[in-house]
C-alpha cells in the first residue's frame, strides 16, 4: 500500500495529518543521490544496496563501520565516494598498535624560522576518511576519533578546530583475525550510524573487476558528478521526507523491543531511535520517494541497530556456532514479534467514492 494514498485521494491516516513537502527539492536531492550511486557503481560492482547505505549515512551526517574480510573494495568505495564529489578530499588511516592520537588528528610543532608554534593537521581533516582496521589501534587512538565523529571538530592543545564539510568516516575491522586487536567499546560502536559489509562479489562481478583493471584502475578515470553544495542539498532534503506518526511510533517500539528481548543484555539507546528514523528518511529519499514506507524500516533495522546491542552469553554462543548474521536475523524476528508493523487504517473523507 502506498503510504501517500491518504494525501493523494483525499483520505488521511486516522489521527494524522500529512505534512507538506517540497517535491522539487526532494526530486533534486534524489537526483543528486542517484548520480552519486551510479558513478560509484562504475568502480564498485554489484553492491548497490551497500552503496546506498553509505550514501544514506552521508545524507544523515553519520559514519559507517564495515566488518569485512580484506580485499572487498572498502578502500575503493571510500575513494570512489570522495572522487565523486568535486572539491572533496579523501584520506586513509592505516591503524596499528603504535598509532598515536597525534598521528590521526594532528599536532602542534615549533617552527624555528618563524619562532612560533604551528598546527599541522592530521589525516582526519578530510571529507571522506577511511580508518582501516580500526580495532588494531590502541584505545586512546580510537578515542581520539570520538570528538571528530560526534562533534565534527577536534581539540589539540586547547584549541578547537572544525573539520571540513561534508565529513564521512568509514572504518573497517577484520572479522577473522583478533590477535593483537582492541575491540571497540559499546560506547564507541554506538557512534557509528550503521554497520554493514560488502562481502565477496559473484563470479560474473569478479570477472568484470578483472576486465576493468586489465589496463588501469577505473578510479583513475573517475570524474566528480556532484559538488559540496549538492551534498548539502541532499542532507537538507532528508528532513523534508514525510514519515507518518504511526511509523515513527513503530520505530520507537522496535528500539524498545531491543531492550526487553530475551536475547539482549543491553538494548539500543535513544541514539538508535534517532538513527533509525533519520536512516529511513534518507533511504526513502535515495529511492526517489518523498515518504517512508514500512519496508524501509524493516530493511534498515539490522544495519542501524545490530551493532548497538549487547547480546546475552547464550546468544553469543549461538552467534559463534551459527554465525553473527544468523543470530542477528533471529534477534530481528524476536523484536518484530514484540513490535509488529502498524496497521495503516484509512479513514475516507465524506464524498470520496
We report the CATH number of the domain holding residue 166 as 3.40.50.300
- Within a domain: residue 109? yes
Q: Do 8 and 51 reside in the same domain of the chain?
A: no
Integer Cα distance of 123 and 197 in angstroms: 24
Higher pLDDT, 151 or 2: 151
Write the pLDDT tens digit of every residue in 229-278. 999 999 999 999 999 999 999 999 999 999 998 888 888 999 999 999 99
- Within a domain: residue 30? no
The answer to whether the bond into 166 is cis (omega within 30° of 0) is yes
Write the pLDDT tens digit of every residue in 277-319. 999 999 999 999 999 999 999 999 999 999 999 988 988 888 8
- Within a domain: residue 77? yes
Of 195, 226, 257, the last residue of a domain is: 226
pLDDT given for residue 194 in this prediction: 94
State how far Cα 92 lies from the chain centre.
Answer: 18
Q: Do 150 and 270 reside in the same domain of the chain?
A: no
**Domain CATH code at residue 276:** 1.10.8.80
Confidence of residue 1 (pLDDT cuts 50, 70, 90): very low
- Within a domain: residue 349? no
Q: Do 71 and 17 reside in the same domain of the chain?
A: no
Q: Do 136 and 180 reside in the same domain of the chain?
A: yes
Integer Cα distance of 336 and 327 in angstroms: 14
Q: Do 218 and 318 reside in the same domain of the chain?
A: no
Which residues fall within 8 angstroms of residue 296, CB to CB, at 6 or more apart?
280, 283, 284, 287
Of 226, 252, 277, the last residue of a domain is: 226
- Within a domain: residue 319? yes
If one counts the domains in the chain, the total is 2
- Within a domain: residue 351? no
Write the pLDDT tens digit of every residue in 168-182. 999 998 877 777 788
pLDDT given for residue 69 in this prediction: 84
Q: Do 148 and 188 reside in the same domain of the chain?
A: yes
Residue with cell 582492541: 182
pLDDT given for residue 147 in this prediction: 83
Q: Do 221 and 246 reside in the same domain of the chain?
A: no
Look up the domain containing 144 and give its range. Answer: 39-226
Instruction: Copy the grid coordinates of residue 205.
Output: 562481478
- Within a domain: residue 345? no
Q: Do 167 and 67 reside in the same domain of the chain?
A: yes
Look at 36-45, 110-119, 217-226 and tell me which has the smallest mean pLDDT.
110-119
Do 136 and 96 contact (CB within 8 A), yes or no?
A: yes
- Within a domain: residue 327? yes
Confidence of residue 22 (pLDDT cuts 50, 70, 90): low
Share of the chain above pLDDT 90, in %: 55
Average pLDDT, the chain: 86
Q: What number is the average pLDDT over the span 59-67? A: 94
Confidence of residue 344 (pLDDT cuts 50, 70, 90): low
Alpha carbon separation from 337 to 184, 257, 267 (Å, rounded): 30, 9, 16
Q: Do 160 and 298 reside in the same domain of the chain?
A: no
Do 171 and 65 contact (CB within 8 A), yes or no?
A: yes
Supply the DSSP string of 36-105, one letter for each residue: HHHHHTTTSTT-HHHHHHHHHHHHHT--EEEE--TTSSHHHHHHHHHHTEET--EEEEE--TT--HHHHH
Share of the chain above pLDDT 70, in %: 90
Q: Do 71 and 141 reside in the same domain of the chain?
A: yes
Look at 1-10, 66-75, 78-87, 118-127 and tell me which has the smallest mean pLDDT.
1-10
Of 177, 203, 226, the last residue of a domain is: 226
Which residues fall within 8 angstroms of residue 149, CB to CB, at 6 or more apart?
63, 169, 191, 192
Q: Do 114 and 13 reside in the same domain of the chain?
A: no
pLDDT given for residue 345 in this prediction: 52
Q: Do 100 and 188 reside in the same domain of the chain?
A: yes
Instruction: Copy the grid coordinates of residue 1.
Output: 500500500
Confidence of residue 320 (pLDDT cuts 50, 70, 90): confident
Instruction: Copy the grid coordinates of residue 301.
Output: 533495522
Alpha carbon separation from 58 to 49, 117, 173 (Å, rounded): 14, 35, 20
CB-based burial label for 142 (10 Å; 0-12, 13-18, 19+) = buried
pLDDT given for residue 2 in this prediction: 44
Higher pLDDT, 353 or 57: 57
Q: Is the pLDDT reported for residue 68 higher than 60?
A: yes
Amino acid at each position: 500500500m502506498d503510504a501517500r494514498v491518504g494525501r493523494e485521494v483525499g483520505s488521511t491516516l486516522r489521527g494524522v495529518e500529512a505534512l507538506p513537502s517540497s517535491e522539487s527539492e526532494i526530486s533534486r536531492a534524489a537526483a543528486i543521490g542517484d548520480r552519486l550511486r551510479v558513478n560509484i557503481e562504475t568502480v564498485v560492482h554489484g553492491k548497490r544496496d551497500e552503496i546506498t547505505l553509505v550514501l544514506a549515512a552521508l545524507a544523515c551526517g553519520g559514519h559507517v563501520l564495515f566488518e569485512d574480510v580484506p580485499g572487498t573494495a572498502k578502500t575503493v568505495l571510500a575513494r570512489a565516494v570522495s572522487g565523486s564529489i568535486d572539491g572533496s578530499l579523501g584520506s586513509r588511516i592505516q591503524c596499528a598498535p603504535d598509532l598515536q592520537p597525534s598521528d590521526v588528528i594532528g599536532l602542534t610543532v615549533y617552527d624555528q624560522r618563524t619562532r612560533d608554534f604551528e598546527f599541522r593537521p592530521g589525516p582526519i581533516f578530510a571529507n571522506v576518511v577511511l580508518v582501516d582496521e580500526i580495532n588494531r589501534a590502541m584505545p586512546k587512538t580510537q578515542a581520539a576519533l570520538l570528538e571528530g565523529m560526534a562533534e565534527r571538530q577536534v581539540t589539540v592543545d586547547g584549541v578547537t578546530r572544525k573539520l571540513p564539510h561534508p565529513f564521512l568516516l568509514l572504518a573497517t575491522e577484520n572479522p577473522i583475525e583478533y590477535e593483537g586487536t582492541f575491540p571497540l567499546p559499546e560506547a564507541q560502536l554506538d557512534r557509528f550510524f550503521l554497520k554493514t559489509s560488502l562481502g565477496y562479489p559473484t563470479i560474473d562481478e569478479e570477472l568484470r573487476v578483472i576486465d576493468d583493471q586489465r589496463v588501469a584502475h577505473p578510479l583513475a578515470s573517475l570524474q566528480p558528478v556532484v559538488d559540496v553544495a549538492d551534498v548539502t542539498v541532499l542532507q537538507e532534503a532528508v528532513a523534508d521526507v514525510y514519515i507518518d506518526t504511526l511509523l515513527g511510533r513503530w520505530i520507537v517500539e522496535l528500539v524498545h523491543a531491543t531492550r526487553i528481548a530475551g536475547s539482549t543484555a543491553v538494548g539500543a539507546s535513544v541514539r538508535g531511535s534517532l538513527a533509525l528514523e533519520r536512516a529511513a528518511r534518507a533511504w526513502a529519499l535515495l529511492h526517489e520517494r518523498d515518504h517512508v514506507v514500512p519496508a524501509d524500516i524493516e530493511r534498515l533495522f539490522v544495519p542501524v541497530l545490530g551493532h548497538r546491542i549487547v547480546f546475552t552469553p547464550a546468544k553469543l554462543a549461538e552467534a559463534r556456532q551459527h554465525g553473527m548474521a544468523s543470530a542477528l536475523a533471529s534477534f530481528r524476528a524476536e523484536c518484530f514479534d514484540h513490535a509488529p508493523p502498524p496497521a495503516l487504517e484509512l479513514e475516507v473523507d465524506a464524498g470520496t467514492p
